[in-house]
């Protein structure tokens, strides 16, 4: 299904609209609408650059960001000057600069559960020899923030830092299952369920049924709903007070999946999450 923007770009545009419509608290200076729009457009350009692993032309970037070419060109010139983007002088194409790597590292280091989870993730990987991934919730999305890769000839590439809608895939659904009924209903009311593959669940009633299944069995299972060719087994990670702090999943290539392997992964994941929850509560 053709989509005008990436999940990340859609997320940024929605956040910017919400910010622009916000009423400023009494006593604070009024925010300049033009400044807000400039930040919004710069964010859309950065997400447009991040949407492709190769260099992108000006027309490609402008199209992904939903901006005119002159506007995209001016913003790109500023991003290049600041080190956030880089231009190939021979081809006139653009890519992300090196500076965002430092920003990304700072963000990852600020997530406490990530450091605590690494040892547990490695232990799970060693038991089943499949990739183990840690995710955190970010508003209506979840983001992979750490991965311990399988030592296999065939493994799944994990999308670190990519915003993934909360309805797509097993890991997303364990976050939905952890919501209170009112919060879940509000999320579903405001969310357009779009397909990322032929297996993505986009019928609300069916999605609600799957969420209830997760609540009963304690884990979620999905097949290639967001990442093509991958089966995921996921569980939510809770703090001492029961609130969700993260989620963890084991990613299995469909070509290697079997019922026995999925059961082994689910068992190892359950034990690992329980170990991590005890460490968080200590």
Residue 10 pLDDT exceeds 70:
no
Q: pLDDT of 210-246, one tens digit each? A: 999 999 999 999 998 887 788 999 999 999 999 999 9
Higher pLDDT, 16 or 259: 259
The string over 237-250, giving b where at least 16 C-beta atoms fall within 10 Å of a residue's C-beta and e elsewhere, is bbeeeeebbbbbbb
Domain segments of the chain: what residues? 7-100, 111-281
Burial of 271 (0-12, 13-18, 19+ CB in 10 A): middle
The CATH code that applies to domain 7-100 is 1.10.10.10
Which of helix, strand or coil describes residue 247?
A: strand
Give residue 25's pLDDT.
Answer: 45
The answer on pLDDT for 84 being more than 50 is yes
Q: What is the pLDDT of residue 126?
A: 94
List the structure tokens of 247.
């989620």
Q: Residue 127 — very low, low, confident or very high, per pLDDT cuts 50/70/90?
A: very high
pTM (predicted TM-score):
0.68
Confidence of residue 14 (pLDDT cuts 50, 70, 90): very low
pLDDT above 60 for 170: yes
| pLDDT above 70 as % of the chain | 82
How does DSSP classify residue 56?
A: B
pLDDT at position 51 is 73
Same fold, 7-100 and 111-281: no
Which pLDDT score, from 0 to 100, does residue 24 have? 41
Per DSSP, helices labelled H in the chain are 7-21, 33-50, 58-65, 69-82, 99-109, 112-128, 170-177, 181-190, 204-217, 259-281
pLDDT confidence of 36, banded at 50, 70, 90? confident
Token pair of 274, please? Answer: 């329980």
pLDDT at 68 over 70: yes
pLDDT of 18 over the 50 cut = no
CA angle 199, 202, 206 (to 5 degrees): 90
**DSSP state string for 187-244:** HHHH-----SSTT----HHHHHHHHHHHHHHS-EEEESSSSTTEEEEEEEEE-TTS-E
Residue 232 CB partners (closer than 8 Å, separation 6+)? 169, 170, 171, 220, 221, 222, 249, 250, 251, 252
| pLDDT confidence band for 5 (50 / 70 / 90) | very low
Report the alpha-carbon distance of residue 73 to residue 208 in Å, rounded: 44
273 CB-near residues (< 8 Å, 6+ apart)? 120, 235, 236, 237, 248
CATH class of segment(s) 111-281: alpha beta
């Amino acid at each position: 299904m053709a989509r005008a923007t990436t999940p990340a770009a859609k997320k940024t545009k929605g956040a910017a609209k919400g910010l622009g419509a916000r009423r400023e608290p009494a006593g604070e200076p009024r925010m300049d609408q033009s400044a807000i729009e400039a930040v919004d457009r710069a964010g859309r350009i950065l997400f447009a650059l991040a949407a492709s692993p190769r260099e992108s032309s000006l027309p490609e970037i402008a199209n992904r960001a939903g901006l005119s070419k002159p506007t995209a060109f001016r913003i790109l010139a500023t991003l290049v000057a600041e080190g956030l983007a880089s231009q190939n002088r021979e081809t006139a194409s653009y890519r992300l600069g090196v500076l965002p790597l430092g920003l990304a590292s700072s963000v990852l280091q600020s997530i406490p559960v990530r450091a605590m989870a690494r040892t547990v993730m490695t232990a799970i990987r060693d038991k089943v020899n499949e990739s183990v991934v840690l995710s955190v919730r970010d508003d209506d999305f979840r983001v992979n923030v750490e991965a311990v890769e399988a030592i296999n000839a065939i493994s799944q590439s994990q999308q670190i830092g990519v915003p993934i809608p909360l309805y797509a895939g097993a890991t997303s659904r364990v976050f939905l299952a952890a919501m209170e009924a009112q919060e879940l209903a509000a999320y579903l009311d405001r969310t357009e369920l779009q397909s990322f593959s032929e297996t993505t669940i986009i019928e609300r009633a069916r999605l609600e049924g799957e969420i209830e299944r997760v609540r009963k069995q304690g884990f979620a299972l999905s097949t290639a709903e967001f990442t093509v060719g991958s089966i995921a087994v996921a569980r939510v990670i809770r703090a001492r007070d029961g609130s969700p702090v993260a989620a963890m999943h084991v990613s299995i290539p469909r070509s290697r999946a079997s019922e026995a392997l999925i059961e082994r992964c689910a068992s190892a994941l359950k034990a690992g999450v329980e170990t991590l929850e005890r460490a968080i509560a200590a």
